[in-house]
């Protein structure tokens, strides 16, 4: 019998990661679903009872834990056919209110963590002469929203990292692409970390924070289910070639289209219609 293809999914305890692990397992993949928090592992434990899913501890900020996890997969399966780099989180706050450590933490997971995973998995793929790496980026890697500047910067960096990896790994039969989702119903809001000084009453942005939070809440009330991104990943794995980038979600597609075609000054003016205090600072966020 032909062996089951092996997929490794990071950040698999919720959202895109959990839905991707579940769908790939249902469609004939042997899935290693990575978790960092033992408290969040329960959802994977339930799936393990009926699907070929194996939960595995892996922290993308810890090279030793990555190497242990990948070594275990290599020992059991001798291969990794698909790597989905989904692990990530949001540091929220206006940039001036963020500390150096806030920025380091954001990039350590969202950007450097992807490269650590590629270093660990690419040798196995190269030895077989094929493999696919899908990086979960964001529309924030193209459009910067106020109070999400650090997150956006990490996703802009991931966009560049994906482009570089795509060129460098292609000669070895390894394809790399990015999915740039817009707003989906995941746990990104509940898992958001606020920067060190964001909640300080002395912050010059305190009056604007409520405006941004209101718009975020409105956006997520209309969010599409996370399963949509998992379904896109499954479709991509069935294609003969991967394009560099796939946008996911109506909002991402519209913003991506406008960002490409409008001059920067025009696009910025459009944003000031959405966030009024950016146009009228003295309005105090009203």
- Residue 219 dihedral angles phi and psi, to the nearest 5°: -65, -45
Helices (H), 7-111: 15-26, 42-48, 63-77, 100-107
- Backbone Cα Rg of the chain: 19
Identify the active-site residue in 29, 151, 205, 246. 151
Task: Note if 57 is an active site residue.
Answer: no
Integer Cα distance of 184 and 188 in angstroms: 9
Bridge partners, 57 (sequence order): 35
The CA-to-CA distance between both ends of the chain, in Å, stands at 65
- Give the closest residue to 12 by CA, choosing from 140, 136, 177, 107: 136
Element (H, E) at 246: strand 245-248
Cα 98 to its chain centre, rounded Å, is 21
Whether the Cβ atoms of residue 185 and residue 223 lie closer than 8 Å to each other: yes
- Which active-site residues does the annotation give? 151
């Amino acid at each position: 019998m032909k062996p089951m293809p092996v997929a490794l999914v990071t950040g698999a305890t919720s959202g895109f990661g959990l839905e991707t692990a579940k769908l790939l397992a249902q469609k004939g993949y042997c899935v290693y679903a990575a978790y960092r928090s033992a408290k969040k592992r329960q959802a994977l434990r339930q799936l393990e009872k009926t699907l070929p899913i194996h939960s595995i501890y892996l922290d993308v900020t810890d090279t030793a834990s990555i190497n242990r996890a990948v070594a275990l997969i290599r020992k059991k399966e001798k291969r990794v056919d698909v790597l989905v780099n989904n692990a990530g989180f949001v540091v929220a706050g206006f940039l001036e209110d963020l500390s150096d450590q806030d920025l380091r933490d954001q990039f350590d997971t969202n950007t450097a963590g992807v490269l650590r995973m590629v270093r660990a998995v690419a040798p196995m793929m190269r030895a077989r002469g094929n493999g696919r790496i899908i990086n979960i980026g964001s529309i924030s890697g193209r459009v910067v929203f106020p109070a999400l500047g650090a997150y956006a910067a990490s996703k802009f960096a991931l966009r560049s990292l994906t482009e570089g990896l795509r060129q460098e790994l292609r000669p070895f039969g390894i394809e790399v692409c990015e999915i740039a989702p817009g707003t989906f119903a995941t746990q990104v809001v509940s898992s958001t970390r606020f920067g060190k000084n964001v909640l300080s009453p002395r912050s010059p942005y305190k009056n604007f924070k409520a405006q941004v939070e209101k718009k975020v809440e409105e956006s997520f009330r209309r969010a599409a289910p996370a399963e949509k991104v998992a379904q896109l990943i499954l479709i991509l794995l069935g294609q003969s070639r991967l394009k560099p980038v796939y946008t996911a979600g109506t909002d991402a597609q519209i913003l991506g289209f406008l960002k490409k075609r409008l001059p920067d000054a025009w696009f910025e003016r459009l944003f000031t219609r959405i966030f009024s205090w950016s146009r009228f600072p003295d309005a105090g966020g009203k």
